[in-house]
C-alpha cells in the first residue's frame, strides 16, 4: 500500500484546528518554507462532489495562481483576439 501522507509533490505538512472564530494558524515552519510574509494573499480553493458540501480545501499564493492562469489562458486569448 502506498504512503498516503506523501503522494507526488503533495504531502501532509500539518494538522491544524479551527478556533471558535473560524480561524486557523499555519505552523511557523510551514510559513517559512512557503515564504509567506505578513499581508501575503492566499486563494482558498474548495473542492467537492456538489455545490453544497466541500470535502477538500487548498490554499495557493495569489501571485502563483495569477501566473498559472496567465500561462494557461494567455495563448488562448492571443489566438481569439488576433
**Structural domain spans, the chain:** 13-80
How big is the CA angle at 13 (ends 42 and 72), to the nearest 5 degrees?
A: 45
Report pTM.
0.66
Q: Which residue has the cell 507526488?
A: 8
- 3-class DSSP state of 48: coil
At residue 54, does pLDDT exceed 60?
Answer: yes
- 3-class DSSP state of 68: helix
Query: What is the structure's pLDDT at 8?
Result: 63
CATH 2.30.30 applies to domain 13-80: no
pLDDT tens figures, 13-47:
899 999 999 999 999 999 999 999 999 999 999 99
Q: Are 30 and 24 in contact (CB under 8 A)?
A: no
Q: Are 14 and 30 in contact (CB under 8 A)?
A: yes
Amino acid at each position: 500500500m502506498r504512503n498516503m501522507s506523501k503522494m507526488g509533490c503533495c504531502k501532509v505538512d500539518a494538522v491544524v484546528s479551527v478556533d471558535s472564530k473560524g480561524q486557523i494558524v499555519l505552523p511557523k515552519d510551514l510559513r517559512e518554507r512557503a515564504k509567506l510574509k505578513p499581508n501575503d494573499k492566499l486563494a482558498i480553493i474548495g473542492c467537492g462532489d456538489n455545490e453544497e458540501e466541500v470535502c477538500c480545501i487548498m490554499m495557493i499564493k495569489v501571485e502563483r495562481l495569477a501566473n498559472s492562469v496567465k500561462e494557461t489562458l494567455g495563448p488562448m486569448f492571443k489566438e481569439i483576439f488576433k
